[in-house]
Amino acid sequence: MNTPLVAMENVTVRFRGAQTVHAVNGVTLTLEPGKVLGILGESGSGKSVTLKTLLRLLPESRTDIGGSVMVDGRDVLALGPQELADYRGRVTSMIFQDPMLALDPVYTVGEQIAEAITRHEKISRREAMQRALELLQLVRIPSPERRLKAYPHEMSGGMRQRAMIALALAARPKLLLADEPTTALDATVQIQILLLLRQLQRDMGMGMLFVTHDIGVAVEVSDRLAVMYAGQIVETGTVRELISDPQHPYTKGLLAANLHGARKGERLEAIPGAPPALNEAPSSCSFAPRCRQAVEACQDGLPPVVTLGEGRIVRCVRTEAALQPA
Amino acid sequence: MSLALYVEDGSDRGGAGTPLLEARALTKHFPLGRGAVVRAVDGVDFQVRKGETLGVVGESGCGKSTTARVVMQLIPQDAGQMLFDGEAVGSAALSLKDYRRQAQMVFQDSYASLNPRLTIEDSIAFGPTVHGVPKSGAIARARDLLARVGLDPERFAARYPHELSGGQRQRVNIARALALGPRLVILDEAVSALDKSVEAQVLNLLMDLREEFGLTYIFISHDLNVVRFISDRVMVMYLGEVVEIGPVDELYEDPRHPYTSALLSAMPSMDPDNRTMEAPLAGDPPNPINPPEGCRFHPRCPQAQTVCAKVKPALTPTGPGARLAACHMEIPGSGHSCAPILEDAA
Amino acid sequence: MSAVTAASAPATTSPPTPARSPGYWSGVWRRFKTDKVAVCAGLVVLAIILMAIFADYIAPADPTRSSMLRRLRPIGTPGYPLGADELGRDMLSRLIHGARLSLFMGVVPVFIAFVFGSVIGVAAGFFGGKFNTITMRTVDVFYAFPSVLLAIALSGALGAGIFNSLLSLTIVFIPPIARIAESVTTQVRSMDYVEAARASGANALTIIRVHVLGNVLGPIFVYATSLISVSMILASGLSFLGLGTKPPTPEWGLMLNTLRTAIYVQPWVAALPGVAIFITSISFNLLSDGLRSAMDVKG
């Protein structure tokens, strides 16, 4: 296996402020080139913060980042201003839930994409506009010639999402970060965008980190899944492994809450309680207070990282105990 | 504590056979000026039977939230009528104020639907005091209801909304809706903003309350999994009209309207070996300003024929069970090549 | 605004009464306390108010006793710590006594306008529709005039005197307050909790009393406090033009007017009333800024 596209090693992110927030607490993950890793978690799980760390999008003045972040052989946390500008867009690019965050309302879509291309390549404006048109065709925007000259507000929600994807792909990045890009969309539009992303990723050989709270969406696009809770990855594995044989109690609870296969009228196996506040770094299993299978050992310290196979890990005391011979 | 006491004696005026709510040709248009009109709800007919949960699904612009607001009479309808347990809403037999004691609503945004300056017990007690319950009695009722929705009144009664989590606030909103002892509760995307693990808790609560108080729900959601789980019957809306309505399992397993089929096949598959390969529809849902003639779905429908662009299909009984679909393929003799043949020879 | 806090129900408090969580206003106070600038401004305002109330006890001399021998003494003259004015009256005593009228002219018109403006604005915002259009367009007619011109025109038409300048200032401030009240109320009216209250069958007055007022009066009040300094300056201006207070009553605007001829002789003494107006109005403004950010809650 060649060098991974993304290698995060024990990454921690802490926001200073009136109250310190320990948003990410020791995330280790790798992504092979051309693969898709879905990061699954609820609000406050640190999944979006993890993604933003990869692009250094967090406000530097009040954020402490620990650990190491390597993307395509670069030490992301050590990049200087010029290297960072070069890195953003050309190596790693990002799409968001709200396309209006990425699109500038005062320029046409074509101008914005052309500008993103010329930022990284020395080509003429005409050539750049031609490339922009090709990108709009690539993301299958209907009547792309006309849309090239359209402003973002003149487009429908699904079309804006496509335009944002075209913009993100302008400099042919090796890694695409997707932060809930389909959450705000209607069901019939969501599936179109998911299929488009899946196809683009495959055709362009990009690696993709896809953050979502929706298991169904994650299953549609991902090769592998990482489940996050309270700023830590609690379980990873292939999609098939996680769906058919979840090990961590939180993953099991999430699957049950997705109602897939739930029988009508029967009470759901709901996870009680609510996620913890992250005012201090966890010293024991963060999920234990909500866990039906919690034992005393869960309070003793951070749960062990149990490796069940190649790229298949679970952070749970119970899993470790089950592996040990009696 | 005897909570059942708070449910109005449930005077079942019409008897079990009368639907609890019947909407007849409900219509709501919003003029935009310069002749443009948003046909948000356009001649919607449906019934909600006593004790059942009617799920309402559809995409943005389909009119499901406007329907909820009209049913709640937060906005008046332009045309059409609503019967509650056989009585016309707003008539001498059932005044608006009486109706509002029997029908309540829970909104999507748990924060915006609580007054930030009131403690949660005051928010819950507000409705009963409006209907003449003395303040101390209303507060006592509020605390009982808090306990019933799973919030310890000792800890929560005197708190303010911003001190609660989203799931807790939505429990408060449910308690508030129940404070008047309603028979019908409209849940407008009531669990959509919650995290999945919290959503499951609230769904469990809604099912328990339905059983305990004998409630009837109108459950509006864009999440087809949730609707399938909680509903008895489902109504599918598209551009201000009902396209299909029927028992949940039949409708999910054998959709009769092409739009229903499209919605269902747009759901993520949850099976890594069997991923969705093709999007059922192209483009975005059109907006309800000046909708197309004939069947409103015909410009996006893979099976559209000439009749679909000209004639508006009526909701027609189809298939087994009490199912209705508004599609020319289900209307005998409609002129669509897939339509059933007219049996007028018999 | 605290009318909406719960009366604790005796029937239900047999178990230990739950600890009432800190309310909205205690939160506002907690945030306000951490704002050093606003706290200082508040202390200055408090000092000025106390000075005005106890002017008779604080002032070293009679503010109206003149002395032709001691005209226009500089700051620091023995017996005249802040000098003497063009009629030989003690400036310090006149400034202390002047605070009374200046504060009065700053606060009272704004307060009356706050009451009337809120009623107009909340009603227009809550009921909307044609009523809103008619009311707010009428308000806009007044709002279209620059406030200084409107105040001068009204005072000129009504004639000089304290009461008339009070009246004209009140009229000047009703439109801006009504506009703020209308826009805040329109926002609150569209909130789901107001819809929920309507769905529970409450009538308009009950909804306004319980759900609207508590959420709109705060922002309107903050806006109104920012008008106090404007009112003081306008009142001073009216006096300066001879449309307000009559001499020899001490009032900062009038003092500024009568001392302007002495600007080349004793510039520092002549500037003192202006300094007083400046300090007071900026303190009110900073206080109102502090209140605004302290009242801005989200979680």
| Predicted confidence (pLDDT) per residue in B255-287, tens digit | 999 999 999 999 888 888 888 888 888 888 888
Query: Which segment of A237-241, B30-34, B52-56, B325-329 scores lowest on mean pLDDT?
Result: B30-34
- Mind listing the domains of chain C with CATH numbers? 41-61+79-295 (1.10.3720.10)
Residue B232: its pLDDT value, please?
A: 93
d(CA B148, CA B213): 11
Give the pLDDT of residue C295: 77
| Contact check, Cβ <8 Å, B200/A192 | no
Cα–Cα dist A250/A288, whole Å: 10
Residue B4 has pLDDT above 50, yes or no: no
Chain A, 63 to 122: residues with Cβ < 8 Å from chain B are: none
For chain A, the straight-line distance linking the first and the last C-alpha, in angstroms and rounded, comes to: 36
Q: How many CB atoms lie within 10 A of CB B289?
A: 13
Q: How many CB atoms lie within 10 A of CB B92?
A: 7
Half-sphere exposure of C130 (CA within 13 A, CB side): 0
Chain A hits for B267, CB-CB cut-off 8 Å, are 187, 191, 216
B102–chain A nearest CA distance, Å: 24
| Tokens (6 digits) for C217 | 């009066």
In which region does residue C245 sit, left (phi positive, over 0), alpha (psi from -120 to 50) or beta (all else)? beta
Question: Of A269, A253, A274, whose CA–CA distance to A44 is shortest?
Answer: A274
The verdict on pTM exceeding 0.95 is no
Statement: residue C12 has pLDDT above 70? no
Per-residue model confidence (pLDDT) at position C299: 35
| A214, pLDDT greater than 60 | yes
> Which chain C residue has the Cα nearest residue B129?
C202
Stretch B230-236: mean pLDDT: 95
pLDDT of residue C175: 92
Provide, as residue numbers in chain B, all residues whose Cβ is less than 8 Å from the Cβ of A259.
200, 225-226, 228-229
**Side-by-side strand order, sheet with B79-84:** B36-48, B21-33, B79-84, B87-88
**C298–B162 CB contact, under 8 Å:** yes
Mean pLDDT of chain B: 88
Q: Mean of the per-residue pLDDT values for chain A?
A: 89
User: Smallest CA–CA separation between C60 and chain B, in Å?
Assistant: 48
Kindly state whether A257 is in contact with chain B, defined as any CB-CB distance less than 8 angstroms.
yes
CB contact under 8 Å between A257 and B199, yes or no, is yes
CB < 8 Å to A156, chain B: 283-284
User: Which band of pLDDT confidence, cut at 50, 70 and 90, is reported for residue A10?
Assistant: very high
By C-alpha distance, which of B73, B39, B117 is closest to B293?
Answer: B39
Question: Do C192 and B112 lie within an 8 Å CB cutoff?
Answer: yes
Q: Measured between CA atoms, how close is C42 to chain B, in angstroms?
A: 25
Would an 8 Å CB–CB cutoff place A143 in contact with chain B? no
**Which subunits sit against B, judged by 3+ Cβ pairs under 8 A?**
A, C
Nearest residue on chain C to B99, judged by CA atoms?
A: C201
Considering only the beta carbons, identify the residue of C4, C19, C199 that sits closest to B118: C4
Q: 3-class SS at A281?
A: coil
Which residues have C-beta within 8 Å of that of residue B35, sequence separation ≥ 6? none
- How, if at all, do strands B324-325 and A92-95 pair? unpaired
Tens of pLDDT along B308-338? 999 999 999 987 778 999 999 988 888 888 8
* Nearest to B190, CA basis, from A218, C297, A264, C196: C196
Percent of chain C whose predicted confidence (pLDDT) is above 90? 18
Q: Do the chains contact at B222 and A188, CB–CB below 8 Å?
A: no
Q: Which residue of B has its CA nearest to C16?
A: B154
Write out chain A residues lying below 8 Å of B198, CB-based: 274
Q: How far apart are CA A191 and CA B282, in angstroms?
A: 10
- The per-residue pLDDT for C33 is 84
Q: Which two tokens stand for residue B304?
A: 């559209």
**C156 pLDDT more than 90:** no
Quote the CA–CA distance of C246 and C238 in Å, as a whole number: 11
* Chain B residue with the nearest C-alpha to that of C297: B162
C67 closest CA partner among C84, C91, C81: C84
Neighbouring C-beta atoms of residue A320, cutoff 10 Å: 15
- Write out chain B residues lying below 8 Å of C24, CB-based: 116-117, 160
Q: Name residue A155's amino acid.
A: M
The answer to whether B344 faces chain A, any CB pair under 8 Å, is no
Check residue B126 and give its pLDDT.
93
pLDDT at B345 over 60: no
Q: What's residue B346's pLDDT?
A: 43
Interface test with C, best of B117, B151, B169 (most C CBs within 10 A): B117
- Eight-state DSSP code of residue B293: S
Question: Cβ–Cβ of C9/B139 closer than 8 Å?
Answer: yes
On chain B, the residues whose CB falls within 8 A of the CB of A270 are: 197, 200-201, 203-204
Find out whether A258 and A249 touch, Cβ atoms under 8 Å.
no
Beta bridge partners of B53: B217
With pLDDT > 70 as the criterion, what percentage of chain B qualifies? 95
Q: Which of B74, B154, B176 sits opposite C195 (nearest CB)?
A: B74
Q: Over pLDDT 90: what percentage of chain B?
A: 56
User: Is A216 in contact with B207 (Cβ distance < 8 A)?
Assistant: no
Give me the residue from C4, C11, C18 closest to B136, CB to CB.
Answer: C11
Looking at the complex, does the CB of residue A41 fall below 8 Å from at least one CB of chain B? no
Joined tokens for residue C132 = 């809103």
- Which chain B residues touch C9 with a CB distance below 8 Å? 135-137, 139-140
Residue B196: list chain A partners with CB under 8 A. Answer: 42, 213, 215, 254, 257-258
A137-146 long-range contacts (CB < 8 A, ≥24 apart) are: A138/A166, A138/A169, A138/A200, A139/A163, A139/A165, A139/A166, A139/A169, A139/A196, A139/A200, A140/A196, A141/A166, A142/B283
pLDDT tens string A231-266: 999 999 999 999 989 999 999 988 888 766 666 767
- Average pLDDT over all residues of chain C: 80
pLDDT on residue A262? 66
| Conformation bin of residue A273: beta by default, left when phi > 0, alpha when psi is -120 to 50 | left
- pLDDT, position A32: 92
Interface contact A183, partner B, CB < 8 A: no
- Asked if C16 and B154 come within 8 Å (Cβ–Cβ), the reply is yes
Chain B, chain C: beta-carbon pairs less than 8 Å apart? 115
Residue B149 near residue B174, CB atoms below 8 Å: yes
Chain B nearest CA to A221, separation (Å): 9
The DSSP bridge partners found for residue B244 are B236, B325
Interface test with A, best of B197, B210, B243 (most A CBs within 10 A): B197
Q: Does the pLDDT value for residue C2 go beyond 50?
A: no
Amino acid at B134: P
Measured in angstroms, the CA of B165 and the nearest CA of chain A are apart by 8
Predicted local distance difference test score (pLDDT) of residue C13: 35
Residue C25 pLDDT > 80: no
List pLDDT tens digits, range C252-296.
877 877 777 777 777 777 788 888 888 888 888 888 888 888 876
Which of A103, A74, A110 minimizes the C-alpha distance to A91?
A74
Please indicate if any CB of chain A lies within 8 Å of the CB of B15: no
Torsion sign (Cα): B75, B79, B85, B91: positive
The ipTM value here is 0.86
Query: Measured between CA atoms, how close is C153 to chain B, in angstroms?
Result: 40
Q: What is the pLDDT of residues C143-154, one digit of tens each?
A: 888 888 888 888
Is the omega angle on the peptide bond into residue C248 within 30 degrees of 0, that is, cis?
A: yes
CA distance C28 to chain B (A): 12
The C-alpha of B233 sits at a distance from chain C's nearest C-alpha, in angstroms, of 25
* SS3 annotation, C88-147: CCEHHHHHHHHHHHHHHHHHHHHHHHHHHHHHHHHHHHHHCHHHHHHHHHHHHHHHCCCH
pLDDT band at residue C1, thresholds of 50, 70 and 90? very low
Task: Give the model's pLDDT for residue A319.
Answer: 82
* Cβ within 8 Å, pair B266-A188: yes
- Which token pair is C161? 């005197």
> Which of A186, A252, A287 should we substitute to test contact with B (largest number of B Cβ atoms within 10 Å)?
A186
Q: Considering only CB atoms, which chain C residues are within 8 Å of B162?
A: 297-299
Kindly tell me if the per-residue pLDDT of C206 is higher than 60.
Answer: yes
B271 touches chain A (CB under 8 A): yes
* Optimal mutation site among C192, C205, C209, interface B, most CBs of chain B within 10 A: C192
pLDDT value at residue B343: 63
* Chain C residue numbers touching B114 (CB-CB < 8 A): 193
**Sign of the torsion angle spanned by Cα atoms A56, A61, A64, A66:** positive
What's the first-to-final CA gap in chain C, in angstroms? 20
User: What DSSP string describes A237-258?
Assistant: EEHHHHHHS--SHHHHHHHHHT
- Inter-axis angle of helices A157-168 and A109-120, to 10 degrees? 10
Is the pLDDT reported for residue B2 higher than 60? no
Percentage of chain A with pLDDT > 90? 52
Name which of C176, C170, C181, C195 is nearest C132 in CA terms: C181
How far apart CA A268 and CA A309 sit, in angstroms, is: 31
Looking at CA atoms only, how far is residue B188 from chain C in angstroms? 12
Locus of tokens 């005897």? B2
- Residue C298: its chain B contacts at CB < 8 A? 162
